[in-house]
Amino acid sequence: MTAKTIDGKAVSLKIKEQVKTRVEKLKEQGIVPGLAVVLVGEDSASHTYVKNKKKTCESLGMRSDLHQFPDTLEEAELLSVIDDLNKDPDIHGILVQLPLPKQIDEFKVIQAIDPSKDVDGFHPVSVGNMVIGKEAFLPCTPHGIMKLLEHYGINPAGKHTVVIGRSNIVGKPIGQLMLQQDATVTYCHSKTADLASFTRQADILVSAIGKAKLIDHSFVKPGAVVIDVGMNRDENGKLCGDVDLADVQETASFLTPVPGGVGPMTIAMLMENTVQSAENGLLKDKNIETM
């Protein structure tokens, strides 16, 4: 068996086209969806992601405001910025790029965002609604993974999904979204003993552990769908995922590459959440109940 490549770039382009159409409809009604992006510090990867988010917003006809601060920013100042953005009627989505510098408590900052503008889906209200299966902004990377599965006709129902990683951004929520689609879910993490004994049971394996090429064919059940959320550098400094693609190619049925798999979906889903937030605002103005 040679695994089929899941093309996240192609699927993300389709989603962005749909978002663009929704933006055009909103603009006809005088609304320009607006995303505020808050960036603190000098992390070069964060700068790249933020630049891409801003560029993508603009290419889809949305407004995007960058609020950039040095890594010495105090927590209270950041909370005050969030407060202003919460009150700004032209801003439909607020995103604080993570990670934040050490002196700032990430949880406090996320909690300060108005849940109706929480397009990252990280606020405890969004997380709670997601877990109980109510309408919520879903976190972009896990939501993007579910969209990829749907696009390729992979139904998680009744399948054993093994997640490696327990971050709030990817690991925990992807397990919850899989559970909602009737998968049987096992969480593994850095302290799991005999990791391969679990991953070899997976029909769908999601790796978000951040270890370059850890997952070779000995971790993979023949025919499994392998989703790689890792972003690492290999021995030559080249971007790679958690999965040794060449080694797993003849064992898996589907594989997401890095780059070009899950990554592009993250930004596409952020765009979708932002346009959704602007649509929700319009419905609220017309007194129609949404989230």
Binding site for NADP(+), residues? Answer: 165-167
Contacting Mg ion within 100-159 (CB under 5 A): 100, 106
Q: Does 53 participate in catalysis according to the annotation?
A: yes
Q: Least distance to Mg ion from the beta carbon of 171, Å? A: 18
Greatest alpha-carbon span in the chain: 57
Which span (56-64, 68-76, 93-101, 192-200) binds ligand LMY7XDAE, by CB under 6 A? 93-101
Q: Are 115 and 82 in contact (CB under 8 A)?
A: no
Per residue, the 3-state secondary structure of 194-260, as one string, reads CHHHHHCCCCEEEECCCCCCCECHHHCCCCCEEEECCCEECCCCCEECCECHHHHCCCCCEECCCCC
Per-residue contact track with Mg ion, 88 to 107, x per CB under 5 A?
Answer: ------------x-----x-
- C-alpha to C-alpha distance for 167 and 189, rounded to whole angstroms: 9
Binding site feature residues: 165-167
Which span (89-97, 126-134, 246-254, 276-284) binds ligand LMY7XDAE, by CB under 6 A? 89-97
Q: Least distance to ligand LMY7XDAE from the beta carbon of 115, Å? A: 15
Which span (23-31, 80-88, 151-159, 258-266) binds ligand LMY7XDAE, by CB under 6 A? 258-266
The reply to whether 178 sits near ligand LMY7XDAE by the rule CB under 6 A is no
- C-alpha to C-alpha distance for 174 and 167, rounded to whole angstroms: 10
- C-alpha to C-alpha distance for 47 and 35, rounded to whole angstroms: 16
Is the CB of 26 or the CB of 36 nearer to ligand LMY7XDAE? 36
210 binds, among ligand LMY7XDAE, Mg ion, none (CB under 5 to 8 A by kind): none
Position among 146, 258, 271, 275 found at the interface with ligand LMY7XDAE (CB under 6 A): 258
Q: Which structure tokens are listed for 150?
A: 């749907």
Catalytic residue selected from 120, 203, 228, 244: 120
Which span (78-86, 199-207, 259-267, 271-279) binds ligand LMY7XDAE, by CB under 6 A? 259-267
- C-alpha to C-alpha distance for 66 and 17, rounded to whole angstroms: 23
204 binds, among Mg ion, ligand LMY7XDAE, none (CB under 5 to 8 A by kind): none
The reply to whether 82 sits near ligand LMY7XDAE by the rule CB under 6 A is no
Q: Are 202 and 183 in contact (CB under 8 A)?
A: no
247 has which bridge partners? none
**Residues at the site binding ligand LMY7XDAE, with contacts judged by CB under 6 A:** 49, 95-98, 120, 140-141, 169, 231, 239, 258-260, 263-264, 266-267
